[in-house]
Amino acid sequence: MSATPVQLLLPPLRHWPRPLPQRIAQALGRADRVDAFGDALDVPASAALSRLGEGDLDIDQIRAYRWLRAEPAWIRPDINGARLYAVGAMLPMDANDVTSFVPELQALFDDASYQLQAVTPHRWYLRMPRDVVVPRFATPATVLGADPFDHIPEGEGARDWRVLDNEVQITLHQHLRNLERQQRGLPPINALWWWGDSELPDPMQGLIPTIHSDDPLLHGLALTANMQPTALPIHWPDHAEGLYDLQGVARDNIYERWLEPALDSMEKGMAMQWICEEGPVFDMRNTQRWRLWRGSFQLPDIITDMQE
């Protein structure tokens, strides 16, 4: 077995399905645990990095421009103002939405020489000249479920950007495609959520050979770190190596298809790290099975809407 632990990048513990299978609870209880752990991979919220990870542009083409993510979004009014209800892949969208929305939105950006690129129905980017000044934006994860007006862009260029963003929302609000969507029982696309104004990180040497993920942000990270990006398989592989990004795996499948088979590999001698978003990190070794005095790990009592 390789001396480099296989790494599993996992959702926050508060999002794990209940109940936790006893075998997994015992293994986590016996593992070495590091609680003080921030972003496991220190990945910047970078549209440029994500755009690189889409695979159709090289590093020089990315560095020639400034980039933002332009996430299709649904902002829903409520009694206290409004809430950001869904963004990107959370929204049902298809190619017809792209061909309907993008041309009319692009007309708003032409004068500034911006280009709206819909790489997939759910992942949109804004390409801008390198010298454009943009304000600071909050990531969708920060704002989801909150009032977006509490997270308006700040800093130099914020006023001009709010004017442009207002034009975008008006165009989407009046768009016939949204009427069609609502008639079909689908939520409207009534905003774009901007984020990710970070440069590509400097090239580095990765410590793991491969990143298995469906997230273009991690693919971009791999390409800047001399690692191989590949798609995430549908289940735990027989010969695992590198890092497996399980943050987007269907909750109903994460134990049976991933974590329990991973324990099989660990018991055969494979060292691994289970890295939970928001912490902690569990260092897993087969020799830990002798720690019989340790109790089973208990999931936190925090139950979110995702658990319901």
pLDDT (tens digit per residue) in 85-100: 999 999 999 999 999 9
Report CA-CA distances (Å) from 173 to 148, 153, 195, 222, 250: 16, 21, 21, 38, 32
Length of the chain: 308
Taking a C-beta distance cutoff of 8 angstroms, is the pair 57, 50 a contact? no
* Percent of residues, the chain, with pLDDT higher than 90: 72
Task: Return phi, psi of residue 295, to 5°.
Answer: -80, 170
Identify which has the larger pLDDT, 171 or 222: 171
The torsion of the CA quartet 278, 282, 283, 287, rounded to 10 degrees, works out to 180
With 60 as the cut, is the pLDDT of residue 107 above it? Answer: yes
For position 1, what pLDDT does the model report? Answer: 47
Which pTM value belongs to this model?
0.83
Strands (E), 79-152: 81-87, 115-118, 124-129
Cα→Cα distances 75→84, 93, 100, 124, 276, Å: 5, 16, 19, 17, 29
Please give the structure tokens belonging to residue 308. Answer: 């319901």
Give the model's pLDDT for residue 3: 64
Residue 305 has pLDDT above 50, yes or no: no
Report the chain's mean pLDDT, rounded to a whole number: 90
What average pLDDT does this structure show over 115-130? 97
Please give the Cα distance from 229 to 269 (Å, whole number). 25
CB count in 10 Å sphere of residue 130 = 10
pLDDT at 303 over 50: no
Please tell me the predicted confidence (pLDDT) of residue 96.
97
Which pLDDT belongs to residue 307?
35
pLDDT score recorded for residue 201: 77
Distances (CA, A) of 39 to 66, 117, 130, 280: 24, 28, 28, 10
**pLDDT for the residue 15:** 86
Statement: residue 41 has pLDDT above 80: no
Domain boundary assignment for the chain: 6-43+203-307, 47-195
Confirm if 116 and 70 have CB atoms less than 8 A apart: yes
With b meaning 16 or more CB within 10 Å and e meaning fewer, what string describes 149-178? eebebeeeebeebeeebeebeeebeebebb
- Give the C-alpha separation, 85 to 90, whole Å: 9
Average of per-residue pLDDT across 73-80: 91
**SS3 category, 54:** coil
pLDDT score at 212? 96
Residue 176 has pLDDT above 70, yes or no: yes
Give the residue from 255, 228, 221 showing the smallest Cα distance to 242: 228
State the pLDDT confidence band at 230, using cuts at 50, 70 and 90. Answer: very high
Are 211 and 231 in contact by the 8 Å Cβ rule? The answer is no
Q: Which amino acid is at 8?
A: L
Residue 42's pLDDT is what? 62
- Would the pLDDT of 70 be above 70? yes
Task: Supply the pLDDT for residue 14.
Answer: 85
